[in-house]
Amino acid sequence: MIRPRERLRGAASATFAVYLVQALLAIAPAWPLARAVERAVRGLPAGTSALAAPGGLWRMEALAALGSSGRVFLDVAFAALLLALALGPLLQMTWLAALLRRRPLRDALAQGARHYLPAFAITLALSPLLLLALLALVAGPALAGHLVDATPSDRSHDLAMLAGCTPALLLAGLWALWHDLARASLARGGHPLPALLRGAVACLQRDALGAYVLWLALGSGLGIAAQTLGGLLDTGGSLPSLAVLLLTQSLTLARTAVRGRWLAAALDRVR
């Protein structure tokens, strides 16, 4: 039996390819937005450093001054979102194929392409659960806020709102877990319906949701650390900016590896 760590090591090239594609998809909307904001604040005495001023007032001024550039950003961001949704099944199935068995990246890509439509069918089949989670995210806090509307304590109000979000978070976690396990089953050579059923059975394992939340929390922590350190350490200048870029992208690559580690374990859960 191949251990998840060994699976991840054997799929190093696929993991790096996933990181690279995700980075390019993120740059697509971020680059025009950064250029538009830079043009908007160029005339300020403090330049782009004004965006870090307390209160965020200059940030609002910059957004208001974007003008026609904001439309360009929205168009690019929407196109990048559609491209990410279209590439998502291919990317994950290629990654799972590489994690399942050591093979050249080209062969993993061919295997991912063969499973593209079944993977998309799994996404469509599980979409009602995702819509239910989104509905609970809207209705839960609204109902909780209505019940404690007359409560003078802000703390009680915040706790009630947090409790109102809990059903939505649980449903979203179940959807994500089932989605990953069903696609992992599909990567093992199944068809959409049996893969969905095996994914559902794997979801019922006692530690399945806890393991998923653990890896999700670790990956999210690395992503938050990259964003936080990028904002704190970026002091301007070419060399500091390059150092910040290398640090944040290293953390982002580590986050991708954490995601791969979970998918490697998911393959064993659907045997």
pLDDT tens-digit profile of 199-246? 999 999 888 988 999 999 999 999 888 878 776 766 666 676 777 888
Answer yes or no: is pLDDT of 50 > 60.
Answer: no
Whether pTM > 0.85 for this model: the answer is no
Mean pLDDT across 9-15: 93
Closest CA to 117 of 68, 186, 179: 186
Residues whose CB is less than 8 angstroms from the CB of residue 136 and which lie 6 or more positions away in sequence, other chains included: 167, 168, 171
CB neighbours (10 Å) of residue 227? 12
- Residue type at position 4: P
In contact, 249 and 23? CB cutoff 8 Å: yes
What's the pLDDT score for residue 225?
Answer: 87
**∠14-17-22 over CA atoms, to 5°?**
130
What's the pLDDT score for residue 63?
Answer: 60
What's the pLDDT score for residue 12?
Answer: 93
Answer yes or no: is pLDDT of 195 > 60.
Answer: yes
Instruction: Quote the radius of gyration of the chain (alpha carbons, Å).
Output: 22
Band (185; pLDDT cuts 50, 70, 90): very high
Collapsing DSSP states into helix, strand and coil, what is residue 102?
Answer: coil
Mean pLDDT across 19-45: 74
Residue with tokens 């080209």: 106
In contact, 14 and 95? CB cutoff 8 Å: yes
Sign of CA dihedral 239, 241, 245, 251: positive
Helices (H), ranges, the chain: 4-10, 12-41, 57-64, 68-100, 105-114, 116-147, 154-187, 192-203, 208-233, 238-269
Closest CA to 15 of 270, 255, 269: 255
What's the pLDDT score for residue 164?
Answer: 80
CB neighbours (10 Å) of residue 233? 13
Collapsing DSSP states into helix, strand and coil, what is residue 53?
Answer: coil
- Residue type at position 237: G
- Residue type at position 153: S
What's the pLDDT score for residue 37?
Answer: 67
Mean pLDDT across 56-66: 57
What's the pLDDT score for residue 69?
Answer: 55
How high does pLDDT run on average in the chain?
A: 82
Tens of pLDDT, residues 132-176: 999 988 888 877 777 766 665 667 777 777 788 888 889 999 999
Sign of CA dihedral 144, 148, 149, 154: negative
In contact, 185 and 194? CB cutoff 8 Å: yes
More confident residue, 186 or 70: 186
More confident residue, 29 or 192: 192
